[in-house]
Amino acid sequence: MKYLSILGSTGSIGTQTLGIVRQFPNEFKIVGLSANKNSELLLKQIKEFKPKAVAIMDRSKVDDLLNFSSCQVYSGLEGLNKIAALDEADTVVNSLVGSAGIGPTYNAIKAKKNIALANKEALVAAGSVIMDEVKKNNVKLMPIDSEHSAIFQCLNGENISEVEKIALTCSGGPFRNYSRQQFENVTAADALRHPTWNMGNKITIDSATLMNKGFEVIEAHWLYGIEYEKINIVVHPQSIIHSLVEFQDKSVIAQLGLPDMKIPIQYALSYPKRFSSMQKSLNLAEMKTLEFKEPDFDLFPCLKYAYEAGEKRGTLPAVMNAANEAAVHAFLDNKIKFLDIQKLIKKMMDNHNTINDPDLNDILETDRKTKQETMKIIEEERN
């Protein structure tokens, strides 16, 4: 049996993870849960899964939990870190959104917990620091992303030195056929209509700008030690092939499946086993077409920014990530236009003096300052 702490248990990945735990009660035991502010749903989860401890970021919601549950209740970032390093847990599922997931990932690894990682920002902003700790503490880091789960499976039993290149597939988001002119009038409601995946708001906007795919390029570099020139992106609207690996003998191995996050979540939890699934099977005969094309780096410049940040390393990826996070929240709040997201990222990256060999504190401080400066620019331009 694996003993799990879930960071972000009330979000999209968190609730789907609990659905899998519900299916396999003899394989998993929940010992820790955390939420941002949804105390009502967290309370329901406490009553069902009976964890040892929980944390809620919004301190004003603590009494909601203390009055109706008997487990240990923590709050704020300190509480989140307590759940990440809980003695009873052997595996931490990190489904937090944004840079809030960096510190808890680091602390869980230092506490020698295996990580099932859905939080992209931990590797994007702090890849060198996180992977150094993974090696130092001899823990497993399993990706929950469908694309990185696919690569992991394609590489299983293979020699990484024989990899010629990898291809991360990309649906292209809701605007893959848009012109530059059409982007001018995009609303948040438009951007939240993802054609194939059902995800949280922030990651859905990242998918619309293709920033999400840029993040995955940087993640792939850190997860598999593959140089950026060997990491390609291919637009595949049907989201059936989740990624591919080409080897030096020109053999290509791909992982296929319907676009359902429960599949990579379950694999990350069950590895090295494969449990039976209740999800729908893929029927290729039903697929009329499978399309592939190269992404348009000019229409979606966030892809270029990710390659640039990844290759320059240091604190530049943290700046890119923080500027994007602040800009996406402003867009969802109708404070800026869709195209302003990429403009703000570029501006913050251009203005940054990179720290070449940062520690965790450097990265977190860069994240804080960049968000603060990005929001300042947004407010100044609105006024």
CB atoms within 10 A of CB 289: 6
Scan for tokens 């906007």, then name that residue: 205
What does the pLDDT average to over 254-270?
A: 95
CA distance 317 to 310: 6
- Asked if CATH classification 3.40.50.720 holds for the domain at 2-143, the reply, yes or no, is yes
Separation CA 43–CA 69 (nearest Å): 7
Nearest-angstrom CA–CA distance, 192 and 207: 9
Q: Is the pLDDT of residue 220 over 80?
A: yes
pLDDT in tens, 282-313: 999 988 899 999 999 999 999 999 999 999 99
Q: Where in the chain is the domain with CATH 1.10.1740.10?
A: 148-260+287-382
For 148-260+287-382, CATH number?
1.10.1740.10
For the cut 80, the answer to whether the pLDDT of residue 167 exceeds it is yes
Stated as kind and residue range, the H or E segment containing 165 is strand 163-170
The burial class, CB within 10 Å (0-12 / 13-18 / 19+), for 181 is: exposed
Mean pLDDT (the chain) is 94
Would you say residue 378 has pLDDT above 80? yes
pLDDT tens figures, 310-348: 999 999 999 999 999 999 999 999 999 999 999 999 999
- Quick: pLDDT tens for 52-67: 999 999 999 998 898 8
Q: Where in the chain is the domain with CATH 3.40.50.720?
A: 2-143
120: Cα separation from own chain's centroid = 3
Widest CA span in the chain: 63
- DSSP letter for each residue of 168-235: EEE---TTTT--HHHHTT--HHHHT--SS----HHHHHHHHHTHHHHHHHHHHHHHH---GGGEEEEE
Q: What is the pLDDT of residue 279?
A: 84
In this prediction, residue 150 has a pLDDT band, given cuts at 50, 70 and 90, of very high
Main-chain phi, psi angles of 31, to 5 degrees: -115, -20
Q: Could you tell me which residues are beta bridge partners of residue 234?
A: 169
pLDDT confidence band for 198 (50 / 70 / 90): low
Per residue in 80-121, pLDDT tens?
Answer: 999 999 999 999 999 998 899 999 999 999 999 999 999 999
Average the pLDDT over 351-366 and give the result.
96
